[in-house]
Amino acid sequence: MIVASDLRAGMALHLEGQLFRVLSSEFKAGGGQAGGAVKTLLQNVLTGREWERRFHPDEKLDDRPVQRRTMEFLYVDGENCVFMDPNTFDQVELPRITIGPMEPFLQPGVTLPVEFCDDNPIAVTLPAVVEATVAETAPPQHSGQDTTWKQAVLDNGVKLLVPLFVAPGELIRIDTHTGRYLERVRLERKRGA
């Protein structure tokens, strides 16, 4: 058991007969006689549905231990992503909706930390930054403005906004937390790395 004021992102909770992952938790102080509240954003690990829930700071909750295992992403099978333990070759499935909009950035063969609760996979931790190639976008324009953006389609089908100077075929970096363009990868710097 844990009190609500001790909740942190990444924890797992058993509420109303279902398992939830804590995406965010913030204590809001109350005024006067009110004791405040803990505002949380929870995600159902089976459906991927998010739920904003408030708790009293001293409310006791049923937390569950979360373990991390490094696993290899294999492929997408319908509505699930399949991961394999490289040591035991055991395979597990994680619903695509749980991974969210960054699921197209999973590449077969990449190893990632997968979080487990009660021996069930509940989440995958993506790297903070991923690289992808721009498949389609308008021809590059070199202007003095760096605040103007244009639509681009990446090689994995993801659509996002990029600066005007980005051309088709270029490699770019994307922030996996926001899904936004970060920078263009310079090939000479990439080769030297």
pLDDT at 91 over 60: yes
pLDDT bracket for residue 83 (50, 70, 90) = very high
Q: What is the pTM of this model?
A: 0.71
According to the model, what pLDDT value does residue 32 have? 63
Yes or no: domain 2-64 corresponds to CATH 2.160.10.10: no
Q: What is the mean pLDDT of the chain?
A: 86
Read off the amino acid at residue 150. Answer: K
For the chain, give the percent of residues with pLDDT over 70: 92
According to the model, what pLDDT value does residue 144 have? 62
Give the DSSP H or E segment for 96: helix 96-99
According to the model, what pLDDT value does residue 105 have? 83
CATH class of 66-124: mainly beta
pLDDT bracket for residue 148 (50, 70, 90) = confident
According to the model, what pLDDT value does residue 173 have? 93
Q: Which residues 6+ apart lie within 8 Å of 145 measured at CB?
A: 164
Average pLDDT estimate for 65-72:
92
- DSSP letters, 13-50, are EEETTEEEEEEEEEEEPPPTT---EEEEEEEETTT--E
Token pair recorded at residue 173: 């970096």
pLDDT digits (tens, 9 = 90+) for 151-169: 999 998 889 999 988 999 9
Would the CATH topology of 66-124 be identical to that of 129-192?
yes
Yes or no: domain 129-192 corresponds to CATH 2.30.40.10: no
Sketch the domain layout of the chain as residue ranges. 2-64, 66-124, 129-192
pLDDT digits (tens, 9 = 90+) for 13-60: 999 888 898 989 998 877 666 678 899 999 888 887 889 999 988 889
